[in-house]
Amino acid sequence: MTLLAPMLLSLKVALVATMLVALIGIPLAFLMARRRFAGRNVLDALLIVPLVLPPTVVGYLILIVFGAHGLIGSTLRRVFGYSIVFSWHGAVVASTIVALPLLYLPAKAAFANIEREMEDLSRVMGANGLQIFWHVSLPLARRGIASGLVLAFARALGEFGATVMVMGDLPDRSTLPISIYNDYISGELSHAAPAVIALAAISLAMVLLYNRTLTERRA
């Protein structure tokens, strides 16, 4: 298999997963940093636990929920004739789940560090909750959010265990990590070198970008 197809699929999965992580993680981070409610600690733990769970466990749980006999999966199949299993959409779901904590944690810390007086002043001046979030809280937390997005993209790009369980390992549909594994089990380690170099280069670039955002935050 050439490098181009796995590279394009990996980038597509990582980009879509990162967008979903942003749509889910940023509002949740703001909510958890600014609100106290029953079950908050449980929700916080659920959002963070994919960071420490083995990827195969994440993949298993996704199959339990979204598989043919899962609560959501069976409904999707019955109503729409659709399933994320053996689809690149499944890889997006897996990557989103494992990458979410890497945005959620720095974004929550960034929102928590915003001085309440800034938001209170905006409220006194007539801004509603959405306006305060969009025009005050989000810009002030932007560097923490940017750091989290960089880490989330890098994690989604390198996801293997959960992805291979949900998307499968088909000859015409492999991400870069899956293609490296296939070359390994076939005994053709030299064939994996381009994919390894590509992933290592992208990961190094992401780390350098992350370090730069940290430097800018401290400045």
Q: What is the mean pLDDT of residues 107-135?
A: 83
Tens digit of each residue's pLDDT (9 = 90 or more) over 174-193: 899 999 988 888 888 888 88
pLDDT of residue 213: 74
Domains of the chain: 4-218 (1.10.3720.10)
Q: Give the highest mean pLDDT range of 81-85, 101-105, 205-209.
A: 101-105
Q: What is the rounded distance in angstroms from the CA atom of residue 101 to the CA atom of residue 96?
A: 9
Mean pLDDT of the chain: 88
Tens digit of each residue's pLDDT (9 = 90 or more) over 139-159: 889 989 999 999 999 999 999
- Kindly state the DSSP code that residue 73 receives in the 8-state scheme: H
Burial readout 92-117 (b: 16 or more C-beta within 10 A, e: otherwise): bbbbbbbbbbbbbbbbbebbeebeee
pTM: 0.88
Whether the per-residue pLDDT at 218 is higher than 70: the answer is no
